[in-house]
Structure 1
Amino acid sequence: MTPEFWMTVGGILCLIFLSFLFSGTETGMTASSRARLHALSVGGNARAKLVESLIERKDRLIGALLIGNNLVNILASALATSVLLDLFGQSGVVYATILMTVVIVVFSEILPKSWALARPEPFALFVAPFARVVVVLFGALSSTVNWFVRGFLSLFGLNLSSDVSMLSAHEELRGAVAVLHREGAVIKQDRDRMGGLLDLHELEVSDIMVHRTNMRSINADDPPEVLVREILLSSHTRMPVWKGASDNIVGVVHAKDLLRALHEVGNEPSRIDIMKVASKPWFVPDTTSLLDQLNAFLRRKAHFAIVVDEYGEVEGLVTLEDIIEEIVGDIADEHDVDVQGVKQEADGSVVVDGSVPIRDLNRALDWKLPDEEATTIAGLVIHETQSIPNERQAFTFHGKRFIVMKRDKNRITRIRIRPADEA
């Protein structure tokens, strides 16, 4: 074996190692979590800052890596062919093809990419200086090739000129949390809280408000003793005040303000003027998004608002606690009244009050009933059946069997739900 032979073999090994770096760098850079890289960058990691700057123009980086990878693979294959031709004659072409295919696939593709996928951030940090050199060498050529590719694809109606993600930031976060939950890294409660937070911009006040039929309010024309007793016996801190008609809300009374007023008049309820204790009501449209309403509550330092429709008619009320419960789940304190809206039966079915929100049921039982067209379980049944069912009528949709157990006039008040395959 001549020295030239060994130099050629050494050159082939070096090219295979470069191919290893090219393939691993491509996978490591694309698979790295931008959130983790950003955290490392903020912590002062210089290589993390370098990786962040490189993946800002991902098309240029990937193009440069592919150009370099193909160059070294082709050159390594050509050198291997020349060596094996000298050793085996014309059959060396076949040997070179088989040998280089196995070597490149195993050591320059599968091995580096598997390593990079297993530990993307450490691998990306390790090869960051190498990636910077590649971009310096082939960046201009990569930009030219990418320009040509975009122009060619535009002939077929594909526009790649803007680097816009097909998923919104909310969808990406929701998908990441769902994957982590499936893998066991995030528990169900944390997944639900994150989902509730991401849903705030999609939900409207009307989706979570206390409907006017369930509102507790007081009549300003009642005797002061009756009003004081009703407020103090209520489990609610704030109560709307109406005058003339129940939908004519003229104020909101806070229990603490009432206690303060009672103290000032020597604890004599008859001397209380409820309208002087009440604060001015705040009216909000029922189409306000929960995110906007949350920000408005925080900005005004308020906790309570009256919800009205487009005609100014009272629809219900919403509180800051209602919105927070969409994120963290039900918040109960020692004064809350425990309402049994969902009951698990021994046969595996679930008995649900018609007024139970679909979102609450989905969260409690990890179901996926749609809530786009209806807010409550009763509303869902009416929407799906396009009618107001009678008692004992049963329907199957969305993988569940719904049996109407009780109806009060036109309201469905109780429903039994079981899996459709058990019906």
Structure 2
Amino acid sequence: MTTADWLTVAAVLLCLLASSFFSGSETALTASSRATMARLARDGDRRAALVNDLLEARERLLGALLIGNNVVNIAASSVATGLLLAWFGEVGVVYATLVMTLVVVVFCEVLPKTAAFDNPDRIALLVARPMAVLVRLFAPVIGAVNLVVRWLLARAGIVIGEAAPILSAHEELRGAVDLFHREGGVEKIDRDMLGGLLDLRELTVADVMIHRTDVIMANASDPPEKIVEAVLSGPKTRVPLWQGSPENIVGVLHVKDVLRALHAGDGDFSRIDVMSLARPAWFVPEIRPLSEQLKAFRRRKTHFALVVDEYGEMMGLVTLEDILEEIVGDISDEHDLDVPGVRLQPDGSVNVEGSVPIRDLNRVMDWNLPDADATTIAGLVIHEARSIPEPGQSFTFHGFRFQVLRRQRNRITALRITPLTRRRNALVLRTG
């Protein structure tokens, strides 16, 4: 080989190396985590800031990558073809086509892109500075190419930048969390907490409140000892006080105020003035989003509110703990009543109390039952059945079989839920 041949081989290798750089840079920059780069840039990493700038000007970045990659690939193929023609004659074209195709695919496409996809953030930081320089160098050519491309796309009725995203930012974040959970990077408890936090804007007070049928209240007209008994018998530290009818709430009794009054009166119930201890009731509409209610609790520095409908009728009560449980799951203490609402059966089915919220059941069982039209599991069955089922009736929807076990008057109190996929899998295992 002559000196000219060696220079030609070196030029081909240099072009192939540049092609590998462009291919790896494209994959690394487009696959890099925007969240990671934003955090690093906020911490002062200038390379991460360059990555963010490049991704903001995505058209110019892709233009530089494509121009650079195609130029070096065409140059390498042309030079290699000329060299092999000189060595082998006309058959050198065939040799050049086979050799360059194999080399470009393996060493300039698959290898660098695989390496970049495996560790995109680290490689994106490494190539940020040279890519920023190349984007500036190719700026005039890229601008001209983009103008031609936009003009051609406009003739086809496609306007760049007008396409609306399919998912909102919250939905994209939720999808990312679910993906990381499936890949093992995020534990179920963390996924549920992040999902609950994202749901606060979509949920209303009515979705988490304690229904009025389960609220412990006290009659202001009752003797003080009976009122104190009602206050101390419930799991909550605050009890609504009504007068005349349960809909007429005249105040809220706090257990600490009652205990202080008892201590001041040496335990004499007759010396307690219940109405003087009652604090003003705070009423909130049932349609208020949980995110707003959480802020309202913080502003008023209170943990308790009564929920009313559009007619001003009391629907239930909501506490700060109810909202926090939507994020972190059930918060139990030694005073909570141990009433299990979900019981897993040996055959894979689940016995569920009718009053169990759908969201809680989804969280415990990792299911995805819809909760848009009903809050409780009993409400979901009634909504789907379009009637109040009798005990023994079964329904199949959303991939589950629901069997009504017990009913009290117009309320479904117990159900058995069987996931159909598990049942089919069990049958396959038995027959196999």
TM category (shorter chain) comes to over 0.9
Partner of 2:138: 138
- Superposition map of 1:5-404 within 5 A: 5-161=5-161, 165-404=165-404
Asked if structure 2 preserves the Cα contact closer than 8 Å seen for 1:306 and 1:318, the reply is yes
1:290, CA displacement in angstroms?
A: 1.1
Listed as ranges, the gaps of 5+ residues in structure 1 are none
**Normalization by structure 1: what TM-score?**
0.95
When residues 380 and 45 of structure 1 are mapped into structure 2, their CA distance, relative to the original with a 3 A threshold, is: same
Aligned CA distance change for structure 1 residues 51 and 255 (closer, same or farther; 3 Å): same
1:185-242 per-residue CA deviation (whole Å, 9 max, x = no partner) reads: 2221111111111111111111111111111111111112211122123221111111
Q: Equivalents in 2 of 1:91, 1:110: separation in Å?
A: 28
Measure how far apart 1:11 and its partner are: 0.9
The CA deviation at 1:144 is: 3.6
Q: Distance in 2 between matches of 1:376 and 1:337?
A: 19
Q: Structure 2 stretches of 5 or more lacking a match?
A: 425-432
Once residues 408 and 71 of structure 2 are traced to their aligned partners in structure 1, the CA distance between those partners, rounded to angstroms, is 78
Q: Which amino acid aligns with 2:102?
A: V
Kept after mapping to 1: 8 A contact 2:261/2:272: yes
Q: Is the 8 A contact 2:217 2:230 kept in 1?
A: no
The code of the aligned residue for 1:229 comes to E
1:420 pairs with 2:420: yes
1: CA distance, partners of 2:349 / 2:413: 17
Identity across aligned pairs (percent)?
A: 57
Letter in 1 for 2:299: R
SS of residue in 2 equivalent to 1:338: coil
Q: Report the alpha carbon displacement of residue 3 of structure 1 after superposing the two structures with TM.
A: 2.1
Q: CA deviation at 1:420?
A: 2.9
Check whether the contact 2:390–2:407 (CA below 8 A) recurs between aligned residues: yes
Q: Distance in 1 between matches of 2:259 and 2:144?
A: 76
Contact kept in structure 1, 2:197 and 2:326, CA below 8 Å: yes
CA distance in 2: counterparts of 1:240 and 1:158, whole angstroms: 61
Counterpart of 2:429 in structure 1 is none
Moved more, 53-62 or 397-406: 53-62
Deviation at 1:370, TM superposition (A): 1.1
Measure how far apart 1:2 and its partner are: 2.8
- Give the distance between the partners of 2:26 and 2:294, measured in 1 at CA: 43
1:373–1:140 CA distance, 2 compared to 1 (3 A) = farther
User: Which deviates more from structure 2 when the two are superposed, residues 48-57 or residues 363-372?
Assistant: 48-57
Contact 1:283 1:306 survives alignment (8 Å): yes
Which residue of 1 is the match for residue 409 of structure 2?
Answer: 409
1:53, distance to aligned residue in structure 2 (A): 2.0
Between the aligned partners of 2:397 and 2:166, the Cα distance in structure 1 is: 31
Q: Which moves more between the two structures, 54-63 or 402-411?
A: 54-63
Separation (CA, whole Å) in 2 of partners of 1:157 and 1:299: 51
Q: Is the 1:252–1:279 Cα contact (8 Å) retained in structure 2?
A: yes
Q: Distance in 2 between matches of 1:349 and 1:72?
A: 62
- 8 A Cα contact 2:308 2:316, kept in partner: yes
Distance 1:59 1:322, change over 3 A: same
Q: Counterparts of 1:202 and 1:268 in 2: how far apart (Å)?
A: 49
Contact (CA 8 Å) 1:61, 1:139: kept in 2 or not?
no
The Cα shift of 1:342 comes to 1.4
- Give distance in 2, aligned partners of 1:146 and 1:285: 53
Closer, same or farther: CA 245–36 of 1 in aligned 2, 3 Å: same
Distance (whole Å) between structure 2 residues aligned to residue 330 and residue 303 of structure 1: 17
Alpha-carbon distance between aligned partners in 1 of 2:144 and 2:212, rounded to the nearest angstrom: 64
Equivalent residues of 1:51, 1:124 under 8 A apart: yes
Matched letter for residue 342 of structure 2: V
Residue deviations 1:129-172 (CA, integer Å, cap 9, x gap): 21111111113432443344334334444332258643322222
Moved more, 44-53 or 56-65: 44-53
RMSD: 1.8
C-alpha change, 1:272 and 1:155, in structure 2 (3 Å) is farther
CA distance in 1, matches of 2:140, 2:279: 67
Q: Does 1:3 align with 2:32?
A: no
